[in-house]
Amino acid sequence: MKKILFILAALVITNLAVCQPGTNKAAVGGALIYGSEIRSLGFNILGSFSIKDNIRVAPDLSYFIPHHNDYLGWREVTDMFEINLNGHYLFPVVENQIDLYPLVGFNLAFLTFRGEPKNPDLIGNPKYDYRKNEVDPGLNIGVGGDYLINDKLNFLLELRYAVSNYSQFAAKAGVAYLF
């Protein structure tokens, strides 16, 4: 189910980035992302399109590699998938080369916590395990920057904090193809 949602959302983001009439200020790309609370590296699919010369909307999807915690004979596994919709206000630092921006937006995190015995001999019932799913809405705040590599390729860095019940800091670096 997660894979279907991820593919569907990626298609929507690509459609938003490509199908903007009257503008060539759209991008689609990918990035690596690190989340502080899940303590794991992830993959990010991103898009952006300009509303005005210095304002753009940037939806993205992030999937974090599951994180494992081992303690007292138990293994806990945490999965996390995020959908973000951010707004950027661009400040050109070097004209047509480097832009910096603050970002604000919405975050929707889908979390799955699984627990299972690490050694079934330690537990009276080896079938005992637990699974808990959560959906956690939140707000994003942060900063980012773009570096224009050439007329069709952009390098980006972004730091953001998601304010929610499962708040976390995230750092992202990637590339985007410009339309």
pLDDT digits (tens, 9 = 90+) for 96-120: 899 999 999 999 999 988 887 776 6
> What's the pLDDT at 23?
42
**Domain layout of the chain by residue ranges:** 2-178
> What's the pLDDT at 176?
96
H helix or E strand, kind and range, residue 5: helix 2-18
Indicate the CATH number of 2-178 among 3.30.70.2170, 2.60.40.10, 2.40.160.20, 3.30.420.40.
2.40.160.20
Please name the residues in contact with 157: beta carbons below 8 A apart, sequence gap of 6 or more. 144, 145, 171, 172, 173
In the three-class reduction of DSSP (H, G, I as helix; E, B as strand; rest coil), residue 128 is classed as coil
> What's the pLDDT at 117?
73
> What's the pLDDT at 123?
56
> What's the pLDDT at 99?
94
64 has a pLDDT exceeding 50: yes
> What's the pLDDT at 145?
96
What is this structure's pTM?
A: 0.78
Residue 171 and residue 32 in contact, taking contact as beta carbons nearer than 8 Å: no
pLDDT, averaged across the chain: 84
Cα 177 from Cα 126, distance rounded (Å) = 50
pLDDT digits (tens, 9 = 90+) for 10-47: 555 555 444 443 344 899 999 999 999 889 999 999 99
Q: How confident is the model at residue 53 (pLDDT cuts 50, 70, 90)?
A: confident
